[in-house]
A and B are shown apart, each in its own frame.
Chain A
């Protein structure tokens, strides 16, 4: 892919160095205002999810901003990260393991072995009709064997107290381990996908990743033995104390009273603050690594490939390998964010993953913030998430009052009453279009 060379504005250094802090200051003011209007706890919730969104945006920025990879399968990698939270932190369901866990594992191994065998056959045999026939035969045999082994196992596992479990459960490890595990899971999937799809042209790659995200979601929704499908896994263990325990502890109540807060409010704020510290630690680490990568020779090479693939290849750079590398790294970051998000919610609800919210909104964050700039991605994450949260009640307010002017129960009144929610999508679209038109390099442009 080649992009049109952009004309770079020559900004004065003083203005340039002030722009980023000022924008972040403005963002802080917005969040503090939200806190005053809607309560500190609400503002903290918005900030926490905004910070998680910032991590997602960093991941997408790594792929799109640095390397020009057009990945619109963000939702899929987020969901895989969320799956990791279940697989790591939930206690194992021993009955289900006894009923058919090993059978399922064996089935999965057989399936993987079939795929590996097919790939090996394709690589080792000379292209011919015979190779085709052998591959088809192996594929069909492998598929039948896979279904024969795995199907009874799935039925048995899903029959174990389906109302409460009906799945294999997880490893019962501390939930914080799920964050790196989510990254690893997403990275593994990204490697497999990248191996097959990265050779494609940019818009073909986009459609392919869109499809992959839908497939990952389909698996999560339908394979009940894995994570209960649309029945959701709730009550995922938390890395921070529960509010109710804090309210019962006399020490905490005393401390809260010293700040002039009642125990209930204080416990919520304290828990959210703890979460914020954890998320900030991850965000800081990802940002640091991304900045170092961006400034390293490796980062310069990746950007050179983005700006002119042909020239970079002529210089002896391995374009395909770099693309695969950065696709895996970016997806890993997205996976980590996905695991954090599920930890924050305490539940995995595959039915709630929608591409507009979890893929395209993240893209809006990156484009609005400034693709190619890590600080921009973070600002975009915070700002767009804040807007997304704030537009719905605001729209409700505006359209709700409009609806009361219409005749009671009329078609228009009904439409207007529902309109607040739909305003989100409209606003996001308008914001994206305005930024693309009037400030195509985003709020904090790449340097």
Chain B
């Protein structure tokens, strides 16, 4: 019985949060990895792209709510999501036309493109703060819990409750749908195949008549969809704040690099590796251990390896460890 309680505590405080966080990171990392695979640079503006898509979605959500339109038990933001995606896609395509294309035509060194993306990051950061301000914005509505702690306790008769917030369930389901769509697109459509060909060998792809500008445009649109979805899901799960989204850059890059830059499967695996390590290393295990160990063996500390504020240290440490042992990531990534 006690072991069951320990398991429930583990599920409630470690497994469920880590799965939803991992799904958000995976979506973010997929965007980073696609840009790296096709455009061949690390896009530092990705966090702010997520923030922009989310900000537009939030404004649209507020508009819908003001009109009295809601999505039943689901958050209204999901209705507004397509608008956010379209706006972000337009922004990214515009950025590509005005900024990145020039360097692509010149075949500039990747590191120059990284610095260019810093400039884009500044601009997007300014735009986002202009649109929605710097404060915390909460925009989740609809049903709060899929499984409430009390309901679970009554159903199972256990001491501990298991709560699954609807935002967490939606995150996992939406992420799964997005990933399935992406992989179907990459593996089974002509355009997706041409993207993969372009990523594998640019010169060969060009020789076989693939239009590079089209591939690039489609990449940006997919990245807009992934980034906006990731941002909205993160915002539903926690809350929206421009600065937090900028900071997400670190775990997202860690996830993409750990999985192997340019490798979509790796990005997903990397997202979950980072999320699980972050949550497990900063969780105070005392409660789980209290249930799992026989009485009297209980330790007196909190059994927390490090405080939550050090979660960046976890992303970073995993990044370094993986890179020291497998320099191109867990799944073989590209390198330019």
Seen from chain A, the residues whose Cβ lies within 8 Å of a Cβ on chain B are 1-4, 68, 70, 143, 147, 196-197, 200-204, 206-208, 210-212, 214-215, 218, 221-222, 354-356, 360, 363-364, 367, 415, 418-419, 421-430, 432-433, 436-437, 440
* B254 with A70: CB separation less than 8 A: no
* A204 with B121: CB separation less than 8 A: no
Q: A201 to B333, alpha carbons, bound, how many Å?
A: 13
Partner of B108, one of A4, A363, A422: A4
* A415 with B131: CB separation less than 8 A: yes
* A436 with B250: CB separation less than 8 A: no
The segment from B177-185, B186-194, B314-322 found at the interface with A is B314-322
**Does any Cβ of A come within 8 Å of B217's Cβ?**
no
* A200 with B323: CB separation less than 8 A: yes
* A437 with B335: CB separation less than 8 A: no
Partner of A425, one of B111, B122, B319: B122
Seen from chain B, the residues whose Cβ lies within 8 Å of a Cβ on chain A are 41-42, 99, 102, 107-112, 114-116, 118-127, 129-131, 133, 243, 246-247, 249-250, 253-254, 257, 301, 305, 307, 309-310, 312-313, 315-316, 319-320, 323-324, 335
* B323 with A363: CB separation less than 8 A: no
- Set of chain A residues within 8 Å of B243, measured between Cβ atoms: 354
- Set of chain B residues within 8 Å of A215, measured between Cβ atoms: 310, 312-313, 316
Knowing A360-B118, A424-B126, the reply to whether A204 touches B133 (Cβ < 8 A) is no
* A208 with B319: CB separation less than 8 A: yes
SS class, residues of chain B in contact with chain A: helix
For A219, give the chain B residue with the smallest CB separation.
B310
Q: A357 to B286, alpha carbons, bound, how many Å?
A: 39
SS class, residues of chain A in contact with chain B: helix
Q: A212 to B313, alpha carbons, bound, how many Å?
A: 8
* B102 with A422: CB separation less than 8 A: no
- Set of chain A residues within 8 Å of B316, measured between Cβ atoms: 208, 211-212, 214-215
- Set of chain B residues within 8 Å of A204, measured between Cβ atoms: 257, 319, 323
Partner of A4, one of B99, B109, B249: B109
Q: A419 to B128, alpha carbons, bound, how many Å?
A: 11
Q: Taking the nearest CB of chain B, how far is it from the CB of A220, in angstroms?
A: 11
Q: Rank and list the top 10 A-B pairs by shortest CB-CB distance, nearest first.
A: A429-B122, A426-B126, A429-B123, A211-B316, A425-B126, A432-B119, A433-B119, A422-B129, A214-B312, A203-B42
Partner of B99, one of A367, A424, A433: A433
Q: A143 to B281, alpha carbons, bound, how many Å?
A: 13
* B307 with A1: CB separation less than 8 A: no
**Candidate in A1, A70, A202, A203 with the most chain B CB atoms within 10 angstroms:** A203
Q: What are 20 pairs between A and B in contact, CB < 8 Å?
A: A2-B109, A3-B109, A70-B111, A147-B301, A197-B320, A210-B250, A214-B250, A218-B309, A218-B313, A222-B307, A356-B125, A360-B118, A364-B122, A425-B125, A426-B126, A426-B127, A429-B119, A429-B123, A436-B116, A436-B119
Q: 7 additional contacts, CB 8 Å, given A222-B310, A423-B126, A440-B112?
A: A4-B108, A200-B323, A211-B250, A221-B309, A364-B118, A425-B123, A426-B126
Q: A222 to B41, alpha carbons, bound, how many Å?
A: 34
* A426 with B109: CB separation less than 8 A: no
For A366, give the chain B residue with the smallest CB separation.
B115
- Set of chain B residues within 8 Å of A201, measured between Cβ atoms: 335
* B114 with A356: CB separation less than 8 A: no
- Set of chain B residues within 8 Å of A355, measured between Cβ atoms: 246
Q: Taking the nearest CB of chain A, how far is it from the CB of B105, in angstroms?
A: 12
- Set of chain A residues within 8 Å of B110, measured between Cβ atoms: 202-203
* B122 with A415: CB separation less than 8 A: no
Q: Taking the nearest CB of chain A, how far is it from the CB of B119, in angstroms?
A: 4
* A360 with B309: CB separation less than 8 A: no
Q: Taking the nearest CB of chain A, how far is it from the CB of B143, in angstroms?
A: 29
For A426, give the chain B residue with the smallest CB separation.
B126
Knowing A208-B319, A432-B122, A433-B99, the reply to whether A415 touches B310 (Cβ < 8 A) is no
- Set of chain A residues within 8 Å of B313, measured between Cβ atoms: 211, 215, 218
Q: A207 to B301, alpha carbons, bound, how many Å?
A: 34
* B118 with A432: CB separation less than 8 A: yes
Partner of A1, one of B111, B130, B315: B111
* A356 with B320: CB separation less than 8 A: no
Q: A197 to B322, alpha carbons, bound, how many Å?
A: 12
Knowing A207-B254, A215-B313, A422-B130, the reply to whether A429 touches B114 (Cβ < 8 A) is no
* A211 with B315: CB separation less than 8 A: yes
- Set of chain A residues within 8 Å of B99, measured between Cβ atoms: 433, 437
Partner of B253, one of A147, A207, A427, A433: A207
Q: A126 to B22, alpha carbons, bound, how many Å?
A: 36
* B130 with A203: CB separation less than 8 A: no
Q: A203 to B336, alpha carbons, bound, how many Å?
A: 10
- Set of chain B residues within 8 Å of A430, measured between Cβ atoms: 119, 123
Q: A171 to B271, alpha carbons, bound, how many Å?
A: 45
**Candidate in B121, B125, B249, B254 with the most chain A CB atoms within 10 angstroms:** B125
For B312, give the chain A residue with the smallest CB separation.
A214
- Set of chain A residues within 8 Å of B246, measured between Cβ atoms: 355-356
Q: Taking the nearest CB of chain A, how far is it from the CB of B263, in angstroms?
A: 15
- Set of chain B residues within 8 Å of A1, measured between Cβ atoms: 111
Knowing A4-B108, A200-B323, A218-B310, the reply to whether A360 touches B114 (Cβ < 8 A) is no
For B243, give the chain A residue with the smallest CB separation.
A354
Q: Taking the nearest CB of chain A, how far is it from the CB of B40, in angstroms?
A: 10
Q: A421 to B305, alpha carbons, bound, how many Å?
A: 40
* A207 with B319: CB separation less than 8 A: yes
For A434, give the chain B residue with the smallest CB separation.
B119
For A215, give the chain B residue with the smallest CB separation.
B313
- Set of chain B residues within 8 Å of A367, measured between Cβ atoms: 115
Q: A361 to B254, alpha carbons, bound, how many Å?
A: 23
Q: A424 to B127, alpha carbons, bound, how many Å?
A: 11
* A196 with B122: CB separation less than 8 A: no
